[in-house]
Structures are given as structure tokens and as C-alpha cells.
Amino acid sequence: MNYSIKHLQIMIKYEKRLPPDFNQWYLKINKEGTTIAHLAATYNCLPSDFDRWYLRNNNGWAVAHEAAIYGYLPSNFNQWDLVDSYSNTVAHIAVYKSALPPDFNHWEWVNNNGRTVAQTAYDYNHLPPDFNRWYLIKKR
């Protein structure tokens, strides 16, 4: 079934839900290329079987980045290496919320500014207690 973008936005923002048969994740809701999936990620309305984490807006920001910035990635998420236009991985974004899994081990991933995931975690005081790759950190 097809739904209007306006109706879907209202459902997501105010009712915190989507229709059970919804599958139009790619619908663009603004000129920046934000999709309905991005909006649903912002409001924690993605279904548990959501699998289109790779959908991107015009800046390369994936749905996974959006869910990560708000702390709404599912516990079984495993696409940490998706990057935006600045080479920020989902891990770079998730670390702001201290939302990396305990077994995360790609601290060396680097964005276009030369910042590793480890550096970002260090800057936000979100390194795990057993972190031992200090060579990835540039103390300022």
C-alpha cells in the first residue's frame, strides 16, 4: 500500500509508529534527500527486521548514522564500517553515545579529518576500560 509522505511523517513523529506493511523506506522527504527511513531512525520507529541501513541522503549520511547519533541501533547491528561523505563510519558516530558493542575492535578506522574511532571515543570519554591501543590516540 502507498502512503503519503505527510501521513507517514505524522505517524512517525507523533504516533511513533509506521504501518505494519510499510516498505517504502526510500521515499525522500526533503531536498537534502532525507528518506522516511532516516526519519524513522530519528524517532526509533524502525522495525526489528529493518535491513536497509545503507540508504543515504545527499550527504552520504546513511540510515545507520542517523540511528547511531540518537542511540537507536539494534543490539545485533554489524555494519559499523558504512561511511558518509567525510568517511565517518557508523562507529565514529555511535561512539558519541558510547554505543559500540563490547567486542568492537576497529578502533583504527579513520575519517577524512584523520580522526580514528579511538580518538573520537577518547575525546568523549567513551573508551572501554580495557582499551590498550593508545598509539591511536593523540592527546591534545
> Contact 137/122 with Cβ under 8 angstroms?
yes
pLDDT score of 1 more than 70: no
Average pLDDT value for the chain: 94
Contacts of 128 by beta carbon, 8 Å cutoff, 6+ apart = 102
Q: What is the pLDDT of residues 60-102, one digit of tens each?
A: 999 999 999 999 999 999 999 999 999 999 999 999 988 899 9
Contacts of 134 by beta carbon, 8 Å cutoff, 6+ apart = none
Distance CA 140, CA 117 (A): 16
pTM attached to this predicted model: 0.92
Count the Cβ atoms, other than its own, within 10 Å of residue 110: 16
CA dist list (Å): 72 to 44, 47, 130: 6, 11, 25
What is the predicted pLDDT for the residue at 140? 66
Q: What is the pLDDT of residues 38-53, one digit of tens each?
A: 999 999 999 999 999 9
Give me the helices (H) in the chain, please. Answer: 5-10, 36-42, 63-69, 90-94, 117-123
> Contact 36/24 with Cβ under 8 angstroms?
yes
For the chain, how many helices (H) and strands (E)? 5, 0
pLDDT score of 139 more than 90: no
